Structure 1
Amino acid sequence: MLPSLFICHGGPSIVFEKNEYTAFLKEYSSKIKPKAIVVFTAHWENEITTISSINGVYDMIYDFYGFPKELYALKYLAKGSPEIALKVKSLLENKGIESCLDEKRGLDHGTWDILYLMYPEAEIPVIQISVNPFMPMEEQYKIGEALKPLAKEDILIIGSGSTVHNLSTLADVKEPIRWAVEFDDWLVEKIENKNLEELFSYQNLAPHAKLAVPREEHIVPLFIALGSGQKKEPKLLHRSYNFGTLTYLAFEF
């Protein structure tokens, strides 16, 4: 039975970086070969949970600007799976969660940059799912919970986002900035102890929460992945930083 994962996807240029985080993603994924991968991406927002149902190869979405031109030529030729998309929709509906299918949207960098590092052959079907940053965290958790049965079918659920996500605070420094570390320290401690009540109220309880998360679309995938987890004890797999406040954090649930 597969765990679920929360993975910080960083900037799109991470696909060309060689550091301890990219090395971790490559090494960890070599141990897990899922039948399919479901990705909740922070870069696709919709009021209703929307499930990609591509029949064939995804188009690429380059949802960023100002990066090296070779990044806009990168291809990750993953295929979709309408069959698994319908299975996801059915599981959500069984729990009273409204959802719909999308047969056109391509892969955004919240999905393809981590999968390019983890499964570069693009041989595993991918089902991309939207997030709604305006829903309470309890409801995000329930979305993940509804999809727990997928693990029994060797379908990997990944929440792709970030914990600290305030691009205005990035700095050209080698060491992580203290407030970002303190925010992540609080999250990690609450997650490892499965203190859901406090996690759901993190914006009011966590230190520097408003600074770390000015908008919630990037942290939502964390709560979805937490909800879909199979492990009694969540495991912090990796933690590092870039540009002072850019968190590279990965959890196994």
Structure 2
Amino acid sequence: MSPLFLAHGSPMLAIEENEYSAFLRETGASLHPGAIVIFTAHWETEDVTVTFTDGVYETIYDFYGFPDELYRVRYPARGSKEVASLVKSMLETNGIPVRFDGTRGLDHGSWTLLKHLFPNADIPVVQVSVNPYRSVEAHYEIGKALRGLSENNILVIGSGVTVHNLRIIKWGQEEPEPWAVQFDDWLIDAMSRGELSALFQYDTLAPFAGHAVPRAEHFVPLYVALGSAQPNAKPEVIFRGYQAGTLSYLCLRF
């Protein structure tokens, strides 16, 4: 069950029918995980925090100003205390402090993707937080601590965006900005070469890193997914597109 990094982009993804939503449905149809562990850019905590429930999640609408239709979407997936406990144990074994949260619902970094991937909401989901103030290397180590999950038929998803700068977004522009493409090109090349040292120093080595990643909350889930892959796994670009000039929809399988 190869880990995935998936772009969640705009919340409108949940109700849109386009090339990307079709890709997500096709991808989900090809997968049959026993459970999902998803690291979302929209849940930030100091320590790694894991949802801990067997009940049905609340659908969190952590955005404003969108059509009423979007606020009527529900994704009634259940959690899994068993899987959450496994995640906590694996992380703590590797010296990573972990907390449980028994009340948090699924934010749009999770449910907008899962609605297309697994529309029946019949697969247990465990949601995990990120900390944008920790290094990308620290998030890689979090993923590395979870490498055994794939052997238990558990799908690890990093949900974020590689190029995410809403301050300079080009609304209505279909063609991507060249600098956004160059940044993603650098990432893909570094990952394909297995250049971890360079990837850990992306902020000084990658072209236009400051433009692409003004704040790291959407970027660090990539490193969790990368770290959770088997050591010799080769990254595969499974989708690539851009919205509004600068918003990347780069997706990878590891």
State if a TM-score over 0.5 links the two structures. Answer: yes
Q: Comparing 8-17 with 43-52, which one deviates more in the overlay? A: 8-17
Question: Aligned partner of 1:187: which letter?
Answer: L
Scaled by the length of structure 1, the TM-score of the pair is 0.98
State the shift of 1:168 in Å.
Answer: 1.5
For 1:158 and 1:174, locate their aligned partners in 2 and report how far apart those are by CA, in whole Å: 27
Partner residue in 2 for 1:98: 97
Residue 232 (structure 1) shift: 2.0
The 4+ residue runs of structure 1 with deviation greater than 6 A are none
In the alignment, is the contact (CA less than 8 A) between 1:37 and 1:156 conserved in 2?
yes
Query: Contact 1:55–1:103 (CA<8 Å) still a contact in 2?
Result: no
Separation in 2, partners of 1:61, 1:181:
32
| Matched residue, 2:25 | 26
Matched residue type, 2:173:
V
- The alignment partner of 1:184 has SS state of helix
Residue 55 in structure 1 maps to residue 17 in structure 2: no
Partner of residue 187, structure 2: 187
User: 1:214 & 1:193 partners in 2: Cα distance?
Assistant: 25
Instruction: Tell me the equivalent position of 2:109.
Output: 110
Q: Distance in 2 between matches of 1:30 and 1:21?
A: 14
Query: What is residue 243 of structure 1 aligned with on the other side?
Result: 244
Q: Distance in 2 between matches of 1:149 and 1:174?
A: 40
Give SS of 1:106's match: coil
- Structure 1: distance between partners of 2:77 and 2:188: 32
Per-residue displacement from partner, 1:17-53 (whole Å, max 9, x unpaired)? Answer: 2222111111111111100000000000001000001
Offset of residue 133 of structure 1? 0.8
In percent, how many aligned pairs have the same letter?
52
Superposed, 1:212-231 pairs within 5 Å as: 212-230=212-230
The alignment's TM-score, normalised by the length of structure 2, stands at: 0.97
- Aligned 1:38-187 pairs, distance under 5 A: 38-171=37-170, 172-187=172-187
CA RMSD of aligned residues (A): 0.8
Unaligned runs of 5+ in 2: none
Q: Partners in 1 of 2:168 and 2:27 — Cα distance? A: 30
Cα distance in 2 for residues equivalent to 1:232 and 1:179: 28
**AA at the equivalent of 1:9:** H
- Give CA deviations for 1:59-100 in whole Å, capped at 9, x if unaligned: 111000010011111100000001110010000011010001
CA distance in 1, matches of 2:49, 2:173: 38
Q: Secondary structure at the match of 1:134?
A: coil
* Structure 1 residue 174: Cα displacement: 1.5
> How far off its partner does 1:165 sit?
0.6
Q: Which amino acid aligns with 1:204?
A: T
| Separation in structure 2 between the aligned mates of residue 191 and residue 22 of structure 1, nearest angstrom | 25
Equivalent residue for 1:206? 206
Query: 1:144·1:226 contact (CA, 8 Å) conserved in 2?
Result: yes
After superposition, the C-alpha distances for 1:105-128 in whole angstroms (9 at most, x for unaligned) are 000000000000100100000000
Deviations 1:209-232 (A, max 9, x none): 111110000000000000001352
- Cα distance in 1, alignment partners of residues 193 and 236 from structure 2: 10
- Which amino acid letter does the alignment assign opposite residue 218 of structure 1? H
Asked if 2 retains the 8 angstrom alpha-carbon contact of 1:36 and 1:124, the reply is yes
71-80 vs 133-142, which moves further: 133-142
Q: How many residues align?
A: 252
- SS of 1:224's equivalent? helix
Distance 1:131 1:174 in 2: 31
**Counterpart code for 1:140:** H
Distance 2:193 2:240 in 1: 17
